[in-house]
Amino acid sequence: MLKKFYITLILLSVIGQTAIADNNYINDLRELFLNNKAIIMAVNLRTFNAKDTNKNGIIDEGEEKGTFLNAIERLDELKEEGINTLHVMPINPTGRFKALGTAGSVYSPSSLTELNPYLADPKSGMNIKNQARKFIEECHKRGIRVIVDLPSCGAYDMYLEQSDLFKKGKNQMPIVPTDWTDVRLFDTGTDGNLNQALYDLHVQYVDMVMDLGFDGIRADVATLKPYTFWKNLISYALSKDPNFLFLAEASDSWREPPSEYAVFTPYDKLLEAGFDGYYGSYFNIKDWDKGSQLINHVNFNKKLFEKYDFPKSVIGSFTTHDELSPILINGPKLSEMIIWLNTTLPVNSYYVDGFQTGAQYVYFWGNKKADKTYTDDDYYFVHRGKFDLFNFSARPQGQNQDINNNFIIANKYKKTFSQILSKGSFVPLSASNESIFAYARSYGDKTIVTIGNLDFKNAKQKVKITIPKMNNNHKLMVIKGSSGHCTLTRKKDKLTLEIPPGDIQVYLINDLSIQ
Q: Rounded to an integer, what distance in angstroms lies between the CA atom of residue 436 and that of residue 503?
A: 10
3-state secondary structure 115-129: CCHHHCCCCCCCCHH
Q: What is the CATH number of the domain that holds 494?
A: 2.60.40.1180
Q: DSSP 3-state helix, strand, coil percentages of the chain (rounded to 5)?
A: 35, 20, 45
pLDDT at 411 (0 to 100): 98
pLDDT at 452 (0 to 100): 96
Say whether both 198 and 322 belong to one domain. Answer: yes
Does any domain span residue 8?
no
**Domain final position from 352, 384, 416:** 416
Say whether both 439 and 487 belong to one domain. Answer: yes
Kindly indicate the confidence band of residue 487, based on its pLDDT and cuts at 50, 70 and 90: confident
Kindly tell me if the per-residue pLDDT of 515 is higher than 90: no
Kindly indicate the confidence band of residue 342, based on its pLDDT and cuts at 50, 70 and 90: very high
* pLDDT tens sequence across 47-60: 999 999 999 999 99
Strand pairing report for 193-194 and 189-190: antiparallel
Q: Rounded to an integer, what distance in angstroms lies between the CA atom of residue 226 and that of residue 209?
A: 22
Say whether both 203 and 75 belong to one domain. Answer: yes
The answer to whether 280 and 286 have CB atoms below 8 angstroms apart is no
Domain that residue 77 falls in: 23-416
Kindly tell me if the per-residue pLDDT of 17 is higher than 70: no
pLDDT at 3 (0 to 100): 35
* pLDDT tens sequence across 418-437: 999 999 999 999 999 999 99
Q: Rounded to an integer, what distance in angstroms lies between the CA atom of residue 195 and that of residue 185?
A: 13
Say whether both 353 and 460 belong to one domain. Answer: no
Q: Rounded to an integer, what distance in angstroms lies between the CA atom of residue 497 and that of residue 490?
A: 9
Which 3 state secondary structure label does DSSP give 304?
helix
Mean pLDDT of 312-326: 97
**Among 258, 225, 249, 259, residue whose Cα is nearest residue 149:** 249
- Helix segments in 87-155, DSSP class H: 128-141
Does any domain span residue 515?
no
Say whether both 407 and 457 belong to one domain. Answer: no
- Which has more pLDDT, 21 or 112? 112
Kindly indicate the confidence band of residue 23, based on its pLDDT and cuts at 50, 70 and 90: low
Structure letter (DSSP) for residue 66: P
Does any domain span residue 15?
no
Phi, psi at 228, each rounded to 5°: -65, -35
**Domain final position from 389, 416, 443:** 416
Q: Rounded to an integer, what distance in angstroms lies between the CA atom of residue 108 and that of residue 225?
A: 17
pLDDT at 21 (0 to 100): 35
Does any domain span residue 122?
yes
pLDDT at 467 (0 to 100): 92
Burial of 123 by CB count in 10 Å (0-12 exposed, 13-18 middle, 19+ buried)?
exposed
Does any domain span residue 13?
no
CA 271 distance to own-chain centroid: 17
Alpha-carbon distances, residue 489 vs 326, 465, 469, 476 (angstroms): 31, 11, 17, 11
Say whether both 195 and 245 belong to one domain. Answer: yes
Kindly tell me if the per-residue pLDDT of 376 is higher than 80: yes
Say whether both 52 and 178 belong to one domain. Answer: yes
Say whether both 391 and 483 belong to one domain. Answer: no
Q: Rounded to an integer, what distance in angstroms lies between the CA atom of residue 108 and that of residue 152?
A: 9
Does any domain span residue 58?
yes
Phi, psi at 157, each rounded to 5°: -55, -40
Half-sphere exposure of 62 (CA within 13 A, CB side): 2
pLDDT at 460 (0 to 100): 87
- Which has more pLDDT, 147 or 459? 147
Q: Rounded to an integer, what distance in angstroms lies between the CA atom of residue 168 and that of residue 184?
A: 9
Kindly tell me if the per-residue pLDDT of 10 is higher than 50: no
Phi, psi at 499, each rounded to 5°: -105, 130
Say whether both 117 and 205 belong to one domain. Answer: yes
pLDDT at 473 (0 to 100): 87
Mean pLDDT of 369-393: 96
Global pTM value? 0.93
Structure letter (DSSP) for residue 17: H
Which residues lie closer than 8 Å to 364 by C-beta, 6 or more apart?
A: 57
Kindly indicate the confidence band of residue 461, based on its pLDDT and cuts at 50, 70 and 90: confident
Say whether both 385 and 454 belong to one domain. Answer: no
Mean pLDDT of 68-91: 98
Phi, psi at 118, each rounded to 5°: -75, -10
Average pLDDT of the residues of the chain: 93
Say whether both 176 and 324 belong to one domain. Answer: yes
pLDDT at 479 (0 to 100): 93
* pLDDT tens sequence across 207-261: 999 999 999 999 999 999 999 999 999 999 999 999 999 999 999 999 999 999 9
pLDDT at 87 (0 to 100): 98
pLDDT at 20 (0 to 100): 35
Kindly tell me if the per-residue pLDDT of 135 is higher than 70: yes
What amino acid occupies position 378?
D
The answer to whether 187 and 165 have CB atoms below 8 angstroms apart is yes
**Among 324, 322, 344, 346, residue whose Cα is nearest residue 335:** 324
Mean pLDDT of 322-333: 96
Kindly indicate the confidence band of residue 262, based on its pLDDT and cuts at 50, 70 and 90: very high
Which residues lie closer than 8 Å to 225 by C-beta, 6 or more apart?
A: 152, 186, 188, 219, 263, 265
Say whether both 319 and 449 belong to one domain. Answer: no
Alpha-carbon distances, residue 171 vs 162, 174, 190, 282, 336 (angstroms): 18, 9, 21, 39, 50
Number of domains in the chain: 2
Q: Rounded to an integer, what distance in angstroms lies between the CA atom of residue 67 and that of residue 46?
A: 6
